[in-house]
Structure 1
Amino acid sequence: MSLNYKSQVELIGNKIGEMKYHIAREMAEKLDNDTDQALEIRAEIVQIIADGLSQDSIKAVMNRITTWGEVTGKQAITYGVALDESLKSTSKIRQLLWSRIEEIVKRYNLSTETVFEVARKLDPILDQAVYAYSTEYVKSYKGILEEAQENFLTLSAPVVPVLEGVAVLPIIGGVDTVRADVLLETALRESTQQDLTHLFIDLSGVTVVDTMVAHYVYKIIQSLEMVGVKAVLAGIRPEVAQTMVTLGVNFSEVKTYSTMQQALSKHLSAESLLK
């Protein structure tokens, strides 16, 4: 052809754009995914690449492909698409595009210089698509994990009302600094919302009591006292009591009971005597 190489590159871009749905359907056959939405997503990236070849404004194309990657990366998380499966599609689209480009080059007898120019434009666009997609995918996945962890921590610190002005905070499992902060925040918030006078902290389900756990329990007790709530410790096993004494944490001014049943029974008895 008598076209200069830039016009030849533009020709390839236009032809690729015309074939976008055909290429998208070819990808669907190889990936066993032919939903209308998936077809449109693949057709869109083909069109962006086609525009990148046929237009001079590579910056605008890079912005479009970045947006495409971010949107589809977030959608992939929503629909439960695995990252490795998604990245396979990038390899497939690269292969299909070069296959179609080869056909166009042969059909129109385009120059070698044109092929090199297409490669210089095509590969960075696809690389940016992969980068934007992967970054948003990981970001969204991390967000979901953090939200799930936050929900779990909130559910793992329930303040259960048992009587008017009285509630129980059962602590089950291990306690790290993150969970300890949630326990403290929940205890204070729920004590205020439920207008509590007493909060029974049940430690029977705590697996390990070390210095950090003991100090955090003491911190919760002190914080509750500052808002007018009396904390009572229950479910303290002998080995836990021994650990607390060994750690030098002073619970002498705090009422403690070996079981929650014993603690509530004593509290009810005291309440009945006051009536």
Structure 2
Amino acid sequence: MPIQEPAIEKEVIMIGKTIEERKFKIAKSLVQDPDPSNYEQVVNLNAELMQFFADAILKGIEVSTELVTKWGRETGELAVRYGAELDESLKNTATLRQAILKVLEEIAKEVSCSVQTIFRVTGILDSVLDQAVYAYSTAYVSSYKSTLNHAQEVFLELSVPVVPILEGVAVLPIIGDIDTHRASLLMETALRESTEKRLTHLFIDLSGVTIVDTMVANNIFNIIYSLELLGVKGILAGIRPEVAQTMVHLGIDFSSIQTHSTLKQALATHIL
């Protein structure tokens, strides 16, 4: 004879209360590394997850969903901060699931639960963990992208240095490829630094640029002309032979801009 629903519900509630009462004990048993540097933090996170699980059992999954989502997001952001790998974290989730199932099995034996009850509780566990993993993963990816974008912005800013060499004179060395975003940063930096440093001459050194196409050439033109509006003379130096050849093939005309093969030559002509 199948067990009646009220009896199953009573057993489910009993398991929920047991998990709630033992959440810290269970949380400690789930820590895989016996002596991590952030042991207390990991235990507290596990204890929160156990409380969400207990709430889902005792009050319904809908009650815990919002809190589980918030927990997953915060944990995902924390993982990025600590440098945890997403694939490793997801692998640990499977281990965590098995560990919690083992705890459930022990509790079920203690209170002599039916198979139906175990299935009911396991289904709730899966729902809670799946929601936590989803929130964790999306928050991790979002936070990782944000960190990566910030690092890229810092790198780009460092890659556009305006170096003063004499009163009113500075050099802007450009190294690597120039895309639309970097071209915008070059323009912004050149104009801002020229104004702040009260420059009269800005030498743009292209010796580190290996590829110049029409887009790059137009951006360089725009920088030079914008500098002229500020009363700053923009001078190009260090155009490599292969780059010069490419410019000729593309029909790019630099005749209106003063150019020099090396920075040394440019400085000797205009400053020294």
Aligned mate of 1:49, from 46, 53, 70: 53
Secondary structure of 1:252's aligned partner = coil
Q: Offset at 1:18?
A: 2.1
Which shifted more, 249-258 or 20-29?
20-29
Q: C-alpha displacement at 1:63, in angstroms?
A: 0.8
- Which of residues 190, 199, 202 in structure 2 aligns to 1:196? 199
- CA displacement at 1:53 relative to structure 2: 0.9
Aligned residue for 2:244?
241
Aligned-pair identity in percent equals: 54
Work out the CA distance in 2 between the residues paired with 1:29 and 1:236.
Answer: 58
> Aligned pair 1:11/2:14, yes or no?
yes
TM-score when normalising by structure 2 = 0.90
Counterpart check, 1:101 vs 2:137: no
CA distance in 1, matches of 2:101, 2:214: 63
CA gap 1:163/1:134 in 2 versus in 1, 3 angstroms = same
Shift of 1:257: 1.1
Distance in 2 of aligned mates of 1:242 and 1:30 = 61
The Cα shift of 1:17 comes to 1.8
The answer to whether structure 1 residue 38 and structure 2 residue 27 are counterparts is no
Secondary structure of 1:207's aligned partner: coil
The superposition leaves residues 6-54 of structure 1 with CA deviations (integer Å, 9 ceiling, x where unpaired) of: 2221111111122222222222246874711111111211121112112
Alignment of 1:114 with 2:133, yes or no, is no
| Aligned residues of 2:171 and 2:203 also touching (Cα < 8 A) | yes
Q: How far apart, in 2, do the equivalents of 1:22 and 1:79 lie?
A: 25
- Where 2:79 maps in the other structure, the secondary structure is helix
Alignment pair present for 1:131 and 2:112: no
**Counterparts of 1:238 and 1:84, CA distance in 2:** 47
Q: Aligned with 1:28: secondary structure?
A: coil
- Structure 2 residue identity aligned to 1:40: N
SS at match of 2:30: helix
Name structure 2 gaps, 5 residues minimum. none
- 139, 144, 148: which one aligns with 1:145: 148
**Residue 240 (structure 1) shift:** 2.4
Q: 2:82 aligns with which of 63, 75, 79?
A: 79
Q: Is the 8 A contact 2:101 2:122 kept in 1?
A: no
Separation in structure 1 between the aligned mates of residue 248 and residue 144 of structure 2, nearest angstrom: 43
TM-score computed with the length of structure 1 as normaliser: 0.89
CA distance 1:102–1:238, shift in 2 (3 Å): closer
Amino acid at match of 2:43: L
Q: Which amino acid aligns with 1:107?
A: E
Contact 1:31 1:89 in 2 (8 A): no
Q: Deviations over 1:141-160 (max 9, x none)?
A: 11111111111111111111
Please tell me whether the aligned partners of residues 55 and 63 of structure 2 are also in contact (alpha carbons under 8 angstroms).
Answer: no
User: Greater CA deviation, 178-187 or 61-70?
Assistant: 178-187
Q: 1:254 aligns with which of 234, 239, 257?
A: 257
Farther off after superposition, 106-115 or 24-33: 24-33
Distance 1:116 1:30 in 2: 30
Please state how far the C-alpha of 1:103 moved relative to its aligned partner.
2.5
Return the alpha-carbon distance in structure 1 between the equivalents of residues 244 and 33 of structure 2: 64
The worse-fitting range, judged by mean Cα deviation, of 176-185 and 237-246 is: 237-246
- Match for 2:220: what amino acid? V
